[in-house]
Amino acid sequence: MSVVTEPLFPADDALAGLTEVPSGLSADRRRTLRRLQLIELGQHPITHLPLHPQAPADASRWDRYPRPFTCGTCAHRFILHAGTKSYRKCDLLTEPDQQSHSAVTDTFAWLPACLAYQPTTD
């Protein structure tokens, strides 16, 4: 069985050629790959601001503890409660539709920080 590949987001010229993915991936997997592509390009996948110069280049979801200059240690990250579920969001997304109760705007702790990074005061 051969795998047909196509660009992840053919309309986005900035990302063309970075990663080719097999067709038939789930929306979650495509979203994850897009976020990784944006990080490779030096752009934060949620705020779309440039990455902080001190953000760790090797940050990943496998990090055991929140690291400095990641979203997990940023004062802009908060928890949005909706019924029995909780969503980690960034308060820099001010539009109501941007704070959706979905994974699209979830801000994971491992994401490298953007230029708006402010350390938490815990």
Among 106, 101, 100, CA closest to 45: 106
Please indicate, yes or no, whether residues 31 and 9 belong to a single structural domain of this protein.
yes
**Do residue 73 and residue 114 come from a single domain?**
yes
Q: How far apart are CA 36 and CA 47, in angstroms?
A: 14
Is 28 in the same domain as 63?
Answer: no
Mark whether 62 and 17 lie in a shared domain: no
Q: What is the mean pLDDT of residues 62-83?
A: 89
Domain that holds residue 104: 49-122
Whether pLDDT at 6 is above 60: no
| pTM exceeds 0.85 | no
Question: What total number of domains does the chain contain?
Answer: 2
* Residue 19 sits in the same domain as residue 66: no
Pick the closest to residue 44 from 100, 101, 90, 75 (CA basis). 90
pLDDT band at 13 (very low <50, low <70, confident <90, very high): low
pLDDT digits over 18-68, tens only? 556 667 889 888 888 888 889 999 999 999 999 999 999 888 888 888 899
Question: Percent of the chain scored above 90 by pLDDT?
Answer: 33
Same-domain status, 91 and 32: no
Q: Are residues 109 and 82 in the same domain?
A: yes
Residue 77: is its pLDDT beyond 70?
yes
